[in-house]
Amino acid sequence: MFRRLILGCAVAALALTGAIAAHAGDALVERGAYLVNGVVACGNCHNTRSPDMRFIEGMEFAGGLEVVEKPFTARVPNITPDMETGIGAWSDGEIITAIRDGIRPDGSLIGPPMPFSQYRNMSDSDVKAIVAYLRQVPAVSHKVEKSEYRMPLPPAWGPSVGSVADVPTDDPVVYGAYLAGPLGHCIECNTPMEIGRFVFENRAFAGGLHLPLGPDMVLITANITQDKETDIGAWSDAEIAAAITTGVRPDGSQIHPIMPSGFYATMEKADVDALVAFLRTVKPVVNAVK
Ligand code: HEC
C-alpha cells in the first residue's frame, strides 16, 4: 500500500514534469508565432505571392518571391518543414545558423536580401522561438529554383555568431532599437545602398532604397528619420504608430503593402510604443525621397 503510494507520487511527479516541459515548449512556440507573424515578418519575403503580389492562402512560408536586381535574381526559398522542398531535414541548430550566420547545412552562403546584417544580433531566445514556431507550420511541397548571384558573395557575413544575450525590455529606446534592427530589420529597408552595401553610418533610416519587385515595379523606401521637412519628424507618436500598424499615413494615403503593416498590426502596444520611442531618437537626415 505504502509502496503503491510512493509509486503513485512518482508517476504524478513525472506527469507534472511532462506538463511543465510541454508548457515551456508552448511558450516558445507562442513567442515564435508572435515574432514571425508580427514584427519579424519572415513571411513578407517567404510567403508565396500571386503575380499581383498578394499572399496565396495555404502557401505560407512556401517561397517563390523573385527579387530581381542588376547583380542578382534572388528566389526566396521554401522554409516550411517539407522534407523535399523545404527545410524539414535541417536540425534546429542548422536553421539557427542559416538565420543568423547565413550559412546552409552544406556550408554554402545564403545571399541577399535575407537581412543578415540585422539577424546576426537576434537573441538566442528569440531565434530559438522562431525555429520552434517554424517547425510546426504546415509543410508545403513547393520547389523553388536556386537564386543567381552575378556578383561575388563574401566568404561569410561576419565571424560566427555564437551566443547573443536577451535585450532588456525595461528601456523602451533600447528595446525599440532591437525591434527596429535585429527583429524587424526596418533599418535595412529604410536605409539607402551604395555600391551593394547599406550606408548605415550617416544615412540610417533616411530611405531611398530601391526595391525592384519585378520587371515593371521599383519601389523606393521612405525616410523615417526625425527630419521635419522630408519625413516623419513632424508626425505625432500616435500617427507614427498608426502608419506602422495600419499602413495609412496621417494624410490618409496608403503605404505600399510591401511594408508589412498586416504583420505589424499584431504587435503588442508596448512593442509599438518602444519602436516609436526609438524612432524619435533617430538623427534627422534631410532626404526627400521621390
Ligand atoms: C527581405 C526578404 C527576406 C526576409 C525578411 C527573410 N528572408 Fe529568409 N531568405 C531570403 C532570400 C532571398 C533567401 C535565399 C537567398 C539565396 O538564395 O541565397 C533566404 C533564405 C533563407 C533560408 C535558407 C533556405 C534555403 O533553402 O536555402 C532560411 C532558413 C531563411 N531564409 C529563413 C528566414 C527566416 C526564419 C526569416 C525571418 C526571421 C527570414 N528568412 C526572413 C529573403 C528573406
**pLDDT single digits (tens) 104-136:** 999 999 998 888 889 999 999 999 999 999 999
* Ligand 1 neighbourhood includes 35 CB (under 6 angstroms): no
pLDDT at residue 25 in the model: 75
Greater model confidence, 195 or 114: 114
- What is the pLDDT averaged over residues 197-206? 71
Tell me which amino acid residue 64 is. Answer: G
pLDDT at residue 12 in the model: 43
pLDDT at residue 13 in the model: 44
What whole-number distance in Å separates Cα of residue 260 and Cα of residue 234? 23
- What is the pLDDT averaged over residues 190-209? 70
- What is the pLDDT averaged over residues 47-59? 93
Question: Are 94 and 171 a contacting pair, CB within 8 Å?
Answer: no
Instruction: From residue 68, give the alpha-carbon distance in Å to each of 53, 207, 216, 256.
Output: 14, 19, 11, 18
pLDDT at residue 1 in the model: 37
Taking only the tens place, the pLDDT of each residue in 174-191 is 999 999 999 998 877 777
- Residue 18 Cα to ligand 1 midpoint, Å, equals 34
Question: The C-alpha cell of 80 is what?
Answer: 516550411
What whole-number distance in Å separates Cα of residue 173 and Cα of residue 282? 10
Of 54-68, 116-130, 187-201, give the lowest mean pLDDT range: 187-201
pLDDT at residue 78 in the model: 98
- Residue 211 Cα to ligand 1 midpoint, Å, equals 16
- Does residue 18 come out as left (phi exceeding 0), alpha (psi in the -120 to 50 range) or beta? alpha
Q: Has residue 239 got a pLDDT over 70?
A: yes
* Ligand 1 neighbourhood includes 98 CB (under 6 angstroms): yes
* Ligand 1 neighbourhood includes 144 CB (under 6 angstroms): no
Q: Has residue 241 got a pLDDT over 90?
A: yes
- What is the pLDDT averaged over residues 221-231? 74
What whole-number distance in Å separates Cα of residue 129 and Cα of residue 133? 6
* Ligand 1 neighbourhood includes 104 CB (under 6 angstroms): yes
Mean pLDDT, the chain, rounded, equals: 86
* Ligand 1 neighbourhood includes 38 CB (under 6 angstroms): no
pTM of the model: 0.88
Greater model confidence, 174 or 151: 174
Q: Has residue 2 got a pLDDT over 70?
A: no
Report domain extents, the chain. 27-166, 167-290
What whole-number distance in Å separates Cα of residue 69 and Cα of residue 53? 17
What percent of the chain clears pLDDT 90, i.e. is strictly above it? 59
- Residue 20 Cα to ligand 1 midpoint, Å, equals 33
